[in-house]
A = this chain, B = another copy of it.
Amino acid sequence: MPSRSDDDDPRLGDVSEGTVLRAILARTPSASHTILGPGDDAAVLAAPSGSVVATTDTLVHGPDFRLAWSSGYDLGWKSAAVNLADVAAMGARPTALLVALAVPRDLRLSFVEQLADGFRAACEALAPGCAVVGGDLTVSDVLTVAVTALGDLEGRSAVTRSGARPGDVVAVAGELGLSARGLAVLFGRFRDGDVPVPVVASQLAAGERAALDAQLRPSPPIGLGPVAAMAGATSMMDISDGLALDAGRMASASDITIDLRSDSLGDDPRLALAGGEDHALLATFPPDVLPPGFRVIGDVRTRGADGVLCDGQPVDVAGWDPYRDWDAAAG
Q: Residues of A with Cβ closer than 8 Å to B?
A: 12-13, 15-17, 20, 35-36, 39-48, 50-58, 60, 62-64, 85-87, 89-90, 92, 96, 98-100, 102, 105, 133-136, 138-142, 144, 146, 148-151, 153, 158, 160-162, 237-238, 253, 321-324, 326, 328
Docked pose: A135 CA to B60 CA in angstroms: 15
Docked pose: A322 CA to B101 CA in angstroms: 13
Q: Is the CB of A146 within 8 A of B54?
A: no
Q: Which residues of B contact A87 (CB under 8 A)?
A: 41-42
Given A51-B47, A55-B134: A17 and B144 within 8 A (CB)?
no
Which of A17, A54, A64, A150 has the most chain B CB atoms inside 10 A of its CB? A54
Q: Is the CB of A47 within 8 A of B52?
A: yes
Docked pose: A151 CA to B64 CA in angstroms: 30
Q: Which residues of B contact A40 (CB under 8 A)?
A: 90, 158, 160-162, 237, 253
Q: Which residue from B36, B42, B99 sits with its C-beta under 8 Å from A151?
A: B42
Q: Which residues of B contact A158 (CB under 8 A)?
A: 35-36, 40, 42, 44
Q: Within the oligomer, what is the number of copies of this chain?
A: 2
A278: min CB distance to chain B, Å: 14
Docked pose: A64 CA to B60 CA in angstroms: 18
Given A43-B55, A55-B134, A146-B144: A322 and B17 within 8 A (CB)?
yes
Docked pose: A90 CA to B92 CA in angstroms: 26
Q: Which residue from B17, B45, B99, B142 sits with its C-beta under 8 Å from A52?
A: B45
Q: Which residues of B contact A151 (CB under 8 A)?
A: 42
Q: Which residues of B contact A45 (CB under 8 A)?
A: 51-54
A79: min CB distance to chain B, Å: 11
Docked pose: A63 CA to B140 CA in angstroms: 8
Docked pose: A228 CA to B100 CA in angstroms: 28
Q: Is the CB of A41 within 8 A of B55?
A: yes
Q: Which residues of B contact A52 (CB under 8 A)?
A: 44-45, 47, 52, 150
Docked pose: A55 CA to B134 CA in angstroms: 6
Q: Is the CB of A54 within 8 A of B43?
A: yes
Closest to A47 in B: B47
Q: Which 8 interchain pairs have the tightest Cβ spacing?
A: A146-B146, A42-B55, A47-B47, A148-B148, A100-B146, A41-B89, A41-B86, A142-B142
Docked pose: A105 CA to B63 CA in angstroms: 12
Q: Which residues of B contact A90 (CB under 8 A)?
A: 40-42, 44
Docked pose: A87 CA to B64 CA in angstroms: 30
